[in-house]
Structure 1
Amino acid sequence: MNVEAELKAWNFQVLMLVQAMLGAITPNFRMVVLSREGDVWVIRFYLERCVEDDVDEIEDIICQYTAYQSSDLKCKSEVLVSNVRLPSLSGADRVVYRRKE
């Protein structure tokens, strides 16, 4: 894939994730990161505490995110719960949301 097409793909995925997250983020969300592993888009949600309502919101976000996509989209999500320092990310990852800490 050429650089321009790759950039368009990333920008589209970031936009769709931001749209899916509108109104769903609570103060418990620390960071949301979009990355790509081969042909799979990976969305990592970092929460401070395990709150059932936030886990339900994440399920809704993923449902909305995939609804914006074509049927051949491959994606997975991960929920990481911790109040330790947020990890450093590789240059290939995109921070879509990060609260001030």
Structure 2
Amino acid sequence: MSIVPSLDDWNRQSVNVMQAMLGMISPNFRMVTLDHDGTQWIIGFVLESVNAEDREELADFEAEWDALQSGPTPRDLQVSFTAGSLAWPSAPTRALYRRREVMLIQE
């Protein structure tokens, strides 16, 4: 069964992601996004490189996010690693965090 989250749902889950992230963001984190596919929330993390400490933080994030829910809430945590350029996510995906990066312009 497909559902369409309300604006209140989007806002609540955005705040929940941000609350669960408190203290976990390292310089390795490039972007954090929130999306919904009709059945579950998709929380995306883009990291620059594989790092054991950040992996542990992501495991803690899952427990923190689950604890902020009012009941069982389907979710999928997606972690990717890239040092290449990042595209801004298209709607309805929300970018909740994106680190400042210097873009070099080639002439």
Asked whether the two chains share a fold, i.e. TM above 0.5, the reply is yes
- The amino acid that maps onto 1:46 is V
Aligned partner of residue 6 in structure 2, secondary structure: helix
RMSD after superposition: 1.4
Distance 1:67 1:41 in 2: 15
Q: What residue in structure 2 maps to residue 81 of structure 1?
A: 81
Distance 1:67 1:24 in 2: 16
Scaled by the length of structure 1, what TM-score is found? 0.91
Who wins on radius of gyration, i.e. which is larger? Answer: 2
Name the stretch that deviates more: 20-29 or 84-93.
Answer: 84-93
Size of the alignment, in residue pairs? 98
Bigger share in helix: 1
Q: What residue in structure 2 maps to residue 11 of structure 1?
A: 11
Scaled by the length of structure 2, what TM-score is found? 0.86
Aligned partner of residue 43 in structure 1, secondary structure: strand
Matches within 5 A, 1:1-101: 6-101=6-101
Higher relative contact order (CA 8 A, sep 6+): 1
Distance 2:86 2:62 in 1: 22
Q: Which runs of 4+ in 1 moved over 6 A?
A: none
Structure 2, unmatched stretches of 5+, are 102-107
Structure 1, unmatched stretches of 5+, are none
